[in-house]
Amino acid sequence: MANILVIAAHPDDEALGAGGAMALHCARKDKVSVAILGTGIASRKEKGADISSELSALRAQSRSALARLGVKDVQFLDFPDNSFDSVPLLEITKAVERIVSEKKPELLYTHHWGDLNIDHRRTFEAMMTACRPVGGCSVKKILCFETLSSTEWNAPSSGTAFLPNCFVDISSVMQKKLDCLSEYKGEMRPFPHPRSPEAVSALARLRGSTIGAESAEAFEVAREIL
């Protein structure tokens, strides 16, 4: 049994990027933990507005969504939505360090460094600092996932392009991933928006065709220690 940690900036990012992989880990009896760093809602409200009820509802959706995959261990932090750059990076890094120290994962999934969304990029930066290979850090492999409506929307360059070199066949759990995302009623959108069931399925089929499978999730390896 392996310890797996998924670190995401907002509720639904974790399911979009690694929902299938999480379902497979749970089926194998791995210990899967999820940490969602940001509120995922405040930027949609006027400054100073009370978001407590919406935040509670979104977190309930997140727990229900992850339960569909078999994940029971999820924690939420309160970094400001779409404003991670307003928080000292050290503060986010220390929060991630505490989580990594507590969960002791061997494998960690998180955002890609080239995503358009600033919160995604800051999450990656904090994670890489928190997981530097010193002091007996447990993390041996870091996989960056793609997040529809962020990864593909940035201007392509050598510094931002998502270049997958690791694939997970999720054909057997694709429906679980879609069921999970269906719980995020306020986050999913009608097609042709990227965060639609049709687009999620299309991307999975494209990634699957790359490896001769019906459906797959793609990742870029940020670090692997053998």
Give the pLDDT confidence of 114-142 residue by residue, as tens digits. Answer: 999 999 999 999 999 999 999 899 999 99
pLDDT at 155: 94
Domain count, the chain: 1
Q: Is residue 91 part of a domain?
A: yes
Phi-psi sector, 11: left (phi>0), alpha (psi -120 to 50), beta: beta
pLDDT at 199: 98
Does the structure show a pLDDT above 60 at 45? no
Q: Is residue 71 part of a domain?
A: yes
Q: Is residue 55 part of a domain?
A: yes
- Structural domain including 149 reads 3-163+219-224
Q: Is residue 171 part of a domain?
A: no
156 or 147, greater pLDDT: 147
User: What is the pTM assigned to this prediction?
Assistant: 0.96
> What is the distance between the terminal CA atoms of the chain, rounded to a whole angstrom?
18
The Cα–Cα gap between 97 and 62 comes to: 23
The Cα–Cα gap between 148 and 134 comes to: 33
